[in-house]
Amino acid sequence: MSRVLLACGGTGGHLAPGIALAQRLNEEGHECLLIVSSKVVDARMTSNYPRLTFVPGKGRGFGPGLLAKLLFFPALLGAVWSAWRLLRRFRPDALVCFGGFMSLGPAIACFLTGIPVVVHEANRRPGKAVRLIARFATSVHLPNGVRIAGIAAARQHDSGYPVRAEIRPLARDAARRALGLPPSGRLLLVTGGSQGAGSLNRWVEQHVADFSERSVHVLCLTGPGGREEELRSPQSIVKFVPFCHQMAAAYSAADLAVTRAGAGTLAELATCRTPAVLLPYPRAADDHQTANAVESSKTGAALLLLESDIAQLAATVFKRIGDNAALASMRDALALADAANRWEELATETLSLAGRKHRPARA
């Protein structure tokens, strides 16, 4: 049995694949410990996994702003020290990082102590932490066709996005019953991801009358601290909830979704065959969500609309949600995307490296 440390906190897009990999490794009898942040989103998500073991880590993002950049370096020293103390207690055979500010401290601590480091990047534009960790990591897993300049080709691998075991397509009627939504009528899912999206929440609020007029139900996930309310009319229900612990049901119940374009969201939409209109978060690091959305829209699995064009969202949604042929075509493209989302090598290579315990090679 191997011991694997996973650094995956900070956002749902980092945490969810860490949980998925831990589920896979636990099933095979290996011991996993997941380093997470103190954010509300982490606390909410981890509460659903009592069989997994989570520990709080330290870390701080690099910017924006001069003060944030100055505070980053002492925070990084603290993160490395905290991670080193954790290594002495847990004694992992390998570390898997999923990017973000929670990954850097554990990655440096493991490199300095000779523990193999694997880094996984889900987005089509690798983030700062991944680009740095890749310099000394034993293995770098990236989306198909994406590569980081200056890193030995032999250490870079195509990889899919680990999807949690419970994210599986459900029968539509069963999914709607689980969510307390009517079995008949069109349903639109609106979500800004684990952090929520104020602009999407406001868009739903501004079109409540339009949803009623067109008999469209809406499930709007408003994010931490967001609105929680149910608006009913004879024709439709518009339900606002801050967080959903049944995302497989939410995806499966919907005829169409309006979402951001994080890699995790796109993988889960594909798994559950949920057509979507993607509005990439315009201030995401390196504009990685736009890169993700462009790739998805090219395959026909989703429609792409920029935040600056949100005025066109209502017309786009109402035209597409009533077009059965177009939705069916999108579901076919989603099935192909799901079939291509292969991440088994991440698990097998992690265990292989855990057995070797060698110091990572430099580029």
Examine the domain organization and report whether 144 and 10 are in the same domain.
Answer: yes
CATH code of residue 108? 3.40.50.2000
pLDDT for the residue numbered 163:
97
Examine the domain organization and report whether 144 and 187 are in the same domain.
Answer: no
Domain count of the fold of the chain: 2
User: Which segments of the chain have a pLDDT < 50?
Assistant: 358-363
β-strand partners of 241: 221
Residue 363 lies in a domain: no
Instruction: List own/partner pairs for 233-238 with CB under 8 A and 24 or more apart.
Output: 236/185, 236/211, 236/212, 237/181, 237/182, 238/204, 238/208, 238/211, 238/212
Reduce the DSSP state of residue 302 to 3 states and report it: strand
Q: φ and ψ at 342, to 5 degrees? A: -100, 120
pLDDT, tens digit, 9 for 90 and up, residues 335-346: 999 999 999 999
- In this structure, what DSSP letter does residue 246 have? -
Examine the domain organization and report whether 199 and 251 are in the same domain.
Answer: yes
| Structural domain range at position 278 | 172-340
Residue 212 lies in a domain: yes
pLDDT for the residue numbered 61:
66
Q: φ and ψ at 26, to 5 degrees? A: -60, -40
pLDDT for the residue numbered 85:
96
Examine the domain organization and report whether 278 and 332 are in the same domain.
Answer: yes
> Which residues fall within 8 angstroms of residue 237, CB to CB, at 6 or more apart?
181, 182, 217, 218, 230, 231
Residue 167 lies in a domain: no
What is d(CA 79, CA 89) in angstroms, rounded to the nearest whole number? 16
Closest-CA residue to 223 (of 57, 64, 18, 12): 12
Residue 142 lies in a domain: yes
Q: What is the dihedral of CA 153, 158, 161, 165, to 10 degrees?
A: -110
The rounded Cα 216 to chain-centroid distance in angstroms is 27
Residue 361 lies in a domain: no
Examine the domain organization and report whether 115 and 180 are in the same domain.
Answer: no
Examine the domain organization and report whether 39 and 157 are in the same domain.
Answer: yes
Neighbours of 233 (CB within 10 A): 13
Residue 336 lies in a domain: yes
Examine the domain organization and report whether 350 and 332 are in the same domain.
Answer: no
**What ranges make up the beta strands (E) of 57-172?**
94-97, 117-120, 139-142, 156-158
Examine the domain organization and report whether 286 and 183 are in the same domain.
Answer: yes
Q: How many residues does the chain have?
A: 363
β-strand partners of 237: 232
Question: Which pTM was predicted?
Answer: 0.91
What is d(CA 11, CA 41) in angstroms, rounded to the nearest whole number? 7
